[in-house]
Chains A and B, each alone.
Chain A
Amino acid sequence: MQRRQFLQLAMAGSALALSALSGCSSRSSKESPLLLSGADKGDEHTVSGWQLGQGERFRLTVEQRVHAPLMRPGSHEAVYVARRPGTAIYVVDVKAGQIKQQVLAEKQRHFYGHAVFSNDGRWLYVPENAYAEEGRGKLAVYDAAANYQRVQEFDLGGIGPHQLALMPDGLTLVVAMGGIQTHPDLDREKLNLATMQSALVFVDRLSGKITQRFDASHQHLSLRHLDVAPNGTVVVGAQFQTAANPDQLYTGPLVFSQRGAEPLKAFEAQERDWLAQHHYIASVVINRAGTLALTTTPRGGRVNLWQLEQGILLRSFPVRDVAGAGYLADQNQFVVSNGLGQLFAVSDELQLLAQAPATRWDNHLSIG
């Protein structure tokens, strides 16, 4: 089963690599995938769109470093959310390659770099830090149909909301609450390591009611990045706060799954594989079939491929400074990006898809 799946993945990878290499001349009727990412070039922050097989579609200089981009469903519009403690959301027309709008955070609020749309593309949900209110985590609701007007906010009952995703019911949001308090005046200093508590929080996106909460298995694990399988299984990646207790070396799990009303369940790997993650998971992506999960760690320089159901490590590839990850549904293919400008297809093996010159792909990748 797994073997066959890998072979399929590998074949899809070869096909993709071939189409990427054949370049502009053989443009198919269906356009190749557009990869969205923040990308630094020299000292400049940019938002970028990269079409596989064709290269850069747009690259726009922005004032604030962005973290995660995402497409607005049913549109040619992408939003790029500024990285903590940024205060901007850049709305980009990916066809025209232009910034359409810049949405700024409310006073005494900043974003955490992530957001998610409702399935109809109308509502944008953006985690915020209410840093003047002891760092309470809020979820702001923006109306994309009304020039991204801020229409509502919910309290998330905790600190440090980071990545979030929409559950298959289209109504529930799952939020990784990192648990770590920061204040923009104190740079990115962690203010509450002694008391931090990270959790997965489920929120009704219409009422703002918190429906479920699952705490992290260790007080110093900070849950940050996640993805949701079609059957509603959540896979979440953590960062362990070594600074909280530098004399202890945490060698436990950093990736967990969560189903239904069950608590977090740790993925299984040997101690050496966890250690090699350097206490830091950057991106989590699940394939469309919901059978495989991929995680990246830039500190450890590794891409790990997991069998999702059992939570077993299948493969691990060394890739330097790797962070961004996405899944190309049409090609049945994972793709990862790194700070050296490389894009790799990941299956049975790594295959270079492209290298963007003088480009440092930032933390997260999204497929347009």
Chain B
Amino acid sequence: MINRDNEKLDVGLTMGRLNWLLMALLSVLLVGCSKAPTEPKLLADTANQVMSPLYAELNSQTQQLLQQSQAFCQAPSEQTQQQLQQQWRDTMNAWARVQPIGFGPVETGNLRWKIQFWPDRKDLTSKKTEALIRSDETLTAERVAAASVSVQGLAALEYLLFDERVKAVSFYQQNSRRCELLQAIAERVHQVTQQVEDEWPDFAAKFAQPSVDNPLYPDNKAALAELLNTLVVGVEVVKRNKLGLPIANGANAQHAKPYRLEAWRSQYSLALMRASTETLEQLYRGNGGFGLSAYLQEQDAVDDALLGAIDEAFAAVNTQFAAIEAPLFTQIKQPEYYAQLTNLRQRLDLLQRQLAKLPEKLDISLGFNSNDGD
């Protein structure tokens, strides 16, 4: 009995000590966690789990676009054209997901315009594309690369595939130059996205590993600044360029400008807006990795109220996207529909305002010489 009691007592004491030790150990671990910088994980996960798949998908889509262009041109028919049109939509969607990323190989190479010529207020795309078809020049990817950007990229392909005046399959059957140009442009776009994918690993390594001798990101803050800037500017591009300008910034349905919509010919504008916004949310949440939102939760300088407001703002934007039916192009001037778009713009504006509070909270400033002009 006594022995047993002693045993119990000993065990109790041991358990108590063990608990205390565990508590101490745990607290050390917790303190360790909060002190160890989590930026490297954030940057690596953002590069590998959010950005890498987007570049890979874009390059894969342009490759399929080239193949589908060749398939269509070998046997032009309604069916092969519809397949090619769908492939164009898929490619454009993949591009809209890369488009808002304001840093990385697209930006450093200044390649944006080569992938998509937009906005195009004077409709140079149709004029210059037709001029090139009428010329007697050999139509190759090299010729396209040397031409005006208005005949390069996905916007010129959209013109060839969707414009009511020229898309008829019979046109392709009658004039082989239309198909020559179509394939040449598709090949050139694929070359450009291949360049992006080739240059991405080097860039990603620099982004994910800031250090004092890293010429792109000498410290974590410099890399974080890119991410925050992309979020704020990215929402601005959707709010202002993709939506605000076509709806005359919400002034009046009668002032709406459907031809200002991105991808008005294919009537694919809404999907592209949504795709870009989804990338921005992925960049914020980390796409399953350790993302910015998780990182911000650890920062004392960022209060929970702001994070809650950002969550709500993203949710409000997504809800409104879901409430709007495509296509914008044909419905943009209808008052009820227009009101929904105005509402979406307001929600994007609110999201942008919340995100724009982050740089200051984190004591992060954006560019210096690159914003100069002397």
A residues at B contact (CB < 8 Å): 40, 67, 83-84, 112-113, 162, 188, 224, 247-249, 271-272, 275-278, 282, 298-302, 317-323, 338-342, 344, 350-352, 355, 360-363
Closest to A42 in B: B365
With a 10 A CB-CB cut-off, give which of B120, B216, B219 has the most chain A CB atoms.
B216
Please report the C-alpha to C-alpha distance between residue A248 and residue B149 in the assembled complex, in whole angstroms. 7
The answer, yes or no, to whether B16 is at the interface (CB within 8 Å) is no
Partner of B212, one of A249, A276, A355, A363: A355
* Separation of A318 and B213 alpha carbons in the complex (Å): 12
Contact with A along B260-289 (1 / 0, CB 8 A): 000000000000000000000000000000
Contact of A341 among B121, B218, B370, B374 (CB under 8 A): B218
Contact B111–A318 (Cβ < 8 Å): no
Chain B residues, Cβ within 8 Å of A276: 108-110
Decide if B367 touches A339 in the complex (CB within 8 Å): yes
Interface of B is mostly: loop
**Judging by beta carbons under 8 Å apart, are A320 and B222 in contact?**
yes
In chain A, what residue has the closest Cβ to B122? A247
Known: A360-B368, A363-B372. A319 touches B124 (CB 8 A): no
Question: When chains A and B are docked, how far (Å) is the Cα of A192 from the Cα of B122?
Answer: 22
- Complex Cα spacing A84 to B372, Å: 11
| Residue B139 lies at the interface, judged by CB distance under 8 Å to chain A | no
Chain B residues, CB < 8 A from A271 = 145-146
A248 adjacent to B148 (CB under 8 Å): yes
17 example contacts (A-B, Cβ-Cβ < 8 A) are as follows A40-B368, A247-B124, A275-B111, A282-B369, A298-B367, A299-B370, A317-B215, A318-B206, A319-B215, A320-B216, A321-B370, A339-B368, A340-B219, A340-B222, A341-B218, A360-B369, A362-B369
| Residues on A with beta carbons closer than 8 Å to the beta carbon of B321 | none
B374–A84 touching, CB < 8 Å:
yes
Please, how many angstroms separate the alpha-carbon atoms of A224 and B373 in the complex?
11
Contacts of B216 in A (CB 8 A): 301, 318-320
Residues from chain A with a CB closer than 8 A to the CB of B368 are: 40, 298, 321, 339, 360, 362
Q: Which of B106-123 contact A (CB under 8 A)?
A: 108-111, 113-114, 120-122
When the two chains form their complex, are residues A247 and B370 in contact, meaning their CB atoms are under 8 A apart? no
The closest CB in chain B to the CB of A274 belongs to B110
* A300 and B108 contacting across the interface, CB-CB below 8 Å: yes
A355 touches B374 (CB 8 A): no
Please name all residues of chain A whose beta carbon is closer than 8 Å to the beta carbon of B369 when the two chains form the complex: 282, 298, 321-323, 338-339, 360-363
The 10 closest A-B pairs by CB, nearest first: A339-B368, A298-B369, A352-B213, A323-B369, A319-B215, A249-B149, A275-B110, A298-B370, A360-B368, A339-B369
Tell whether, in the assembled complex, residue A355 and residue B218 are in contact, meaning their CB atoms are under 8 Å apart. yes
Contact B120 A247 (CB under 8 A): yes
A339 touches B148 (CB 8 A): no
